[in-house]
Amino acid sequence: MNLSPLNAGEPATLGGAGGAITLVEGSTFCLSDRVGDIEPGTSHGLFYRDARVVSRWELRVDGHRPDSLSVLSPEAFTARFILRRPPRAGVADSTLLVVRERLVAEGLSETVTLENLGHEPTAVVLELHADGDFVDLFAVKEGRGGHGRAEVLVTDSELLFTDRSDRARGLAITSSEPPQILPGSLTWRIVVPPGGRWQTEIQAQPTMANQRVRLPVRPGEHYGASEPGRKIEAWRDTATKLTAGDPLLTAVLQRTESDLGALRIHDEMREGRTFVAAGAPWFMTLFGRDSLLTAWMALPLDVGLALGTMQQLAEMQGQRVDPLTEEEPGRIMHEIRRGPSGGLALGGEIYYGTVDATPLFVMLLAQVRRWGANPEAVQTLLPAADAALDWIRRFGDRDGDGFVEYQRATDRGLINQGWKDSFDGINDIAGHVAEAPIALCEVQGYVYAALMARAELADEFGDPEDGEALRDQAAVLRAKFAEAYWIPERGWYAVALDRHKRRVDALTSNVGHCLWSGIATDEHAEQIVKHLSSPRMDCGFGVRTLASDMGAFNPMSYHNGSVWPHDTAITVAGLMRYRHIPGAVELATRLSDGLLDAASAFGGRLPELFCGFPRSRFPAPVPYPTSCSPQAWASAAPLLLVRSFLGLEPDAPRRTLTLLPHLPERWGRVELTDLRLGGTVLDLAVEGGQVSASNLPDDWTLITH
């Protein structure tokens, strides 16, 4: 039995022509085709708590599949599928409009409306074929969906499914207009008068512990008035509003706000604390690396999201040594799963096999404080940050050479434990896969930045001697890194050191992360900028994960030549950190322009990744077939672009705000309204090199040069 559960490499291909439609709210998501159908035998479904509760949801009009006209999705949790009854034989046009309005939240609510646009009554037989298989998310992701796991019960008013392997889990389907109910189907026989409408509201309610989950939407309620709608509006009321003169950038930022709002998970057991899930469809749960990086990028929008994410991760921080889950004291976890087989697959619900989440945790804590998080809340997290640094020293640096490396503890763990976690994601210039233990270049940068971050916090909270010692450790690491990772004959950093401490010499986007963390020297950064500027790395829509002249390059691969928006945004942030290096700002601008053009091609929403073909060959980015969308760090990437080009660096404890703008010309005027930095709420506007800050208190200092 294959129990490989871990989110590495690509998932199963999504079914349905024309691309899948993903709706998400919290940890619930729905995957369908453009008609709104969930097709059996595909990766489609309604997923609740890491299990597929609906495996079939197909609407038929007079026995036929409706024609798709359009799909509108004003928010990430709702969509309107505009359809028509297929024209009858010998008739050119259809006169029956079919609209499916779907809302996903703790289940599924769908209103089906039939509208007769003709001049005589029309008879309609409407059928909904439904099923539930309660298969674990991992099995669906890997194309191992099961069959026949549900028992079916029909009553006068409901269609009920029960999971045979866990009878406390189930699904109830009801309709506001009574149908004829048979095992697996609901049928309505309707006559719609000319110019008339007929409507029914169908609900699919999951059952947990023999209790039906309450759907947060009332009958006939507009999505804006629903609980998810109210939550997203409350999010907007407290989040910073970002706009630009460039309508494309403004639209992308609005999509970012909507998607991140929907990807938030509320922990009602902890006073509604919010944290961010990694992305839909396969990662609707708390992740270490993904959630931390997303929270970092989203700081200009809402610092509370980062604080909640860190508090949640701190509560799950490693306490003991467990090879099966790869838990170790102080380690920040990789992912949490609560599906039917999550415990079996992982040896527990929480898996810790990630090398970078632990230093990222410490890095983010200092940023959270800079952006105005409550000092008491930050101080409460200091023990977790210190435990994370202890993990880096005791377990991360497993051979005592001063670098953090990884090697999975058992054959169930992830082979690669950095962000490029596919089995072949780390390779040399000839394409040979590196042997573990592997010490990634960007991870050393994260550790360097973590030491600097903890030093900053030590200064604020009364431990200046510890701060100085931490800075000394960071300086030693930076010098060792330059010596061990720099390849003089190539002019770039090795992507990693392998088990023999040999430099894994491929040119990768990982070097952009070394710029972002600040571990790169100016001398090295100057050469890296030149290599990143070349067409072998810059495809025209962003930075390739692997240069096109490397042995393992494949523009259609997951990690060896594709473009990941978050990766490009981090590279842009790194370039703007080294803005004094010749060509850095120009390259950052070009990469940002390419990424926004890609967003336009994807309807304003950046996907998890896309293929790395050159723009000169294909004028639009080529989709990667199993890319997640919305995906948290891809959704948040535009926020990091804005922050980077604004040169926006607040320091709430020291009451300073730095703005060093180098805005791309196409952006025009950029405004941040209701930016919250602790108890301070202000408005910023930047146009060209001109900066204005409204409502900045007198005891704050604005630095613009």
Residue 673 near residue 238, CB atoms below 8 Å: no
Answer whether residue 428 shows pLDDT above 80.
yes
State the pLDDT at residue 146.
56
| CB burial of residue 219 (10 Å; 0-12, 13-18, 19+) | exposed
- Provide the mean pLDDT of the chain: 90
Lowest mean pLDDT among 83-92, 114-123, 271-280: 271-280
State the pLDDT at residue 348.
53
d(CA 703, CA 705): 6
State the pLDDT at residue 19.
67
Residue 601 near residue 548, CB atoms below 8 Å: no
Confidence category of residue 156, pLDDT binned at 50, 70, 90: confident
State the pLDDT at residue 424.
95
362: which residues sit within 8 A by CB, 6+ positions away? Answer: 385, 388, 389, 450, 453, 454
Q: What percent of the chain has pLDDT over 90?
A: 75
For every residue of 155-212, DSSP letters joined together read: -SS-EEEEETT-TT-EEEEEESSPPEEETTEEEEEEEEPTT-EEEEEEEEEEEETTEE
d(CA 333, CA 347): 14
Lowest mean pLDDT among 22-31, 272-281, 588-597: 272-281
What's the pLDDT tens digit per position in 634-691? Answer: 999 999 999 999 999 999 999 999 999 999 999 999 999 999 999 899 999 999 889 9
Amino acid making up residue 262:
A
Residue 537 near residue 547, CB atoms below 8 Å: yes
Name the token pair of 505.
Answer: 């010499």
Answer whether residue 10 shows pLDDT above 60.
no
* Average pLDDT estimate for 297-321: 95
- State the DSSP code for 654: G
Answer whether residue 322 shows pLDDT above 50.
yes
State the pLDDT at residue 16.
34
Answer whether residue 517 shows pLDDT above 60.
yes
State the pLDDT at residue 6.
46
d(CA 648, CA 515): 17
What's the pLDDT tens digit per position in 229-264? Answer: 777 788 788 899 999 999 999 999 999 998 888 788
What's the pLDDT tens digit per position in 110-146? Answer: 999 999 999 999 999 999 999 999 888 777 877 766 5
State the pLDDT at residue 2.
30
State the pLDDT at residue 378.
97
* Average pLDDT estimate for 308-326: 95
Answer whether residue 99 shows pLDDT above 70.
yes
What's the pLDDT tens digit per position in 399-414? Answer: 999 999 999 999 989 9
State the pLDDT at residue 7.
46
Answer whether residue 575 shows pLDDT above 70.
yes
* Average pLDDT estimate for 492-507: 98
Strand runs labelled E in 234-314: 241-244, 264-267, 273-279, 283-286
State the pLDDT at residue 12.
37
* Average pLDDT estimate for 347-361: 89
For 40, other C-beta atoms within 10 Å of its C-beta total 17
Q: 73 or 563, which is more confident?
A: 563
State the pLDDT at residue 168.
80
CA nearest 581: which of 543, 535, 529?
529
422: three-class secondary structure by DSSP: coil
Q: 74 or 311, which is more confident?
A: 311
For 399, other C-beta atoms within 10 Å of its C-beta total 11
Answer whether residue 631 shows pLDDT above 90.
no
Answer whether residue 626 shows pLDDT above 50.
yes
State the pLDDT at residue 90.
63
Amino acid making up residue 496:
A
Confidence category of residue 8, pLDDT binned at 50, 70, 90: very low
Answer whether residue 20 shows pLDDT above 90.
no
Residue 51 near residue 136, CB atoms below 8 Å: yes
Confidence category of residue 76, pLDDT binned at 50, 70, 90: confident
